[in-house]
Amino acid sequence: SPRSSSAPSACPAHIISQRRNVRWQAPAPPCILGAMTLALCIVGCGSYARSVLKDIHDMTEDVELFYASRDIEKAKGYLDTFGGSGCFGSYEEAAGDPRVEALYFLTPHDLHLENALLAARHRKHILVEKPIARTISEGRQMVQAARDAGVRLMVAENYRFLPTVEECKRLMEQGAIGDLRLIQVQSEAYAETSGWRTSAAITGGGRFIDGGIHSVDTLVRLGGLPERVYAAVPPRVLETGEGED
C-alpha cells in the first residue's frame, strides 16, 4: 500500500501525537527500542507547521524536536517559540545530522517524493503530510525507497482516528447496525484556495486530493478497498484554483 512501509523488524515503543484532540499512535522506529523519545525534525517551517506544533510541542517525553527550513531564521524562530534541541538552515543538513532519527515533512505535495528520497538516502524515518504524493507513480517510488532503506514511511492522516470514525468501525465490526450496504460522506464548505494550493501542478489536482483525501481514507478505513471507482466532476464554483473545487 502506498500509505505506509514498514521495516522488517518492529518494536513495542510508540510515537504518540495529539492532533486536534485526537490520539494518534504508530509503531516507533526500531532504532529507538527501549528509548523514551524520538528525535523528530520538523521540515518546513510554514503556517501549518505552527498549527501542528501547538498540539505536540509539549510532548517532551515522547518527542525531541528539531526544526529545518531553507530560511535559518525561520527555523530559529520555531526553536525559540516551541523549544527543542536544534535547528537547521537546509533540509539536507537536517537529514545528515546523526542526532535526528525521523523527518516530518510539512511541505507542498510536489516536494514529497524529493523529500522522501532525501530521508531514505540518510536512513531517516519519514512522515509526510497527506496526500502521500501527487500521483500513484510518485507514491510507489516513495514506498520502494523506504523499503530499500529499511526505514518507516508514514502519512499524517488523522481522520481514521477521529472518535466518531473509530466508534463507527466498532459498531460495524460488532454487527450492531446490520449488514453494511452504503457509506456516504457529504462535505460542503466555501473555502477559496490560496498560495501554492491553487496550482494543479504542485498539488496534483484540486480540492479533492488536498482535502477530499481525508474522506477517501475514512471510506477505506470503514469499508475497505474498492473494487470499482466512479467519479464525476461537479460544476466549478471558485476561480482561485486550477484544479476541481
pLDDT band for position 2 (cuts 50, 70, 90): very low
Residues 117, 123, 127: CA angle, nearest 5 degrees:
65
42 in Cβ contact with 107 (< 8 Å) = no
Between 111 and 179, residue with greater pLDDT:
111
Percent of residues, the chain, with pLDDT higher than 70: 85
Cα distances from 13 to residues 25, 32, 61, 124, in angstroms, run: 10, 8, 12, 17
Q: Which grid cell is 17?
A: 501525537
Q: Which of 17-31, 126-140, 173-187 has the lowest mean pLDDT?
A: 17-31
pLDDT band for position 36 (cuts 50, 70, 90): low
pLDDT band for position 35 (cuts 50, 70, 90): low
The 3 state secondary structure assigned to 91-113 is HHHHHHCCCCCEEEECCCHHHHH
* pLDDT tens profile 136-182: 999 999 999 999 999 999 999 999 999 999 999 999 999 998 988 88
100 in Cβ contact with 32 (< 8 Å) = no
Contacts of 77 (CB under 8 A, 6+ apart): 45
66 in Cβ contact with 46 (< 8 Å) = no
Strand-pairing partners, residue 127, are: 104, 154
Taking only Cα atoms into account, the Rg of the chain, rounded to an integer number of angstroms, comes to 19
Output the pLDDT for position 239.
80
Q: Give pTM, 2 decimals.
A: 0.82
Q: Is 233 left (phi over 0), alpha (psi -120 to 50) or beta?
A: beta
Distance between CA atoms of 60 and 50, rounded to whole angstroms?
17
* Distance, C-alpha 113 to centroid of its chain: 13
* pLDDT tens profile 196-220: 888 889 999 988 899 899 999 999 9
Residue 20 confidence (pLDDT) above 90: no
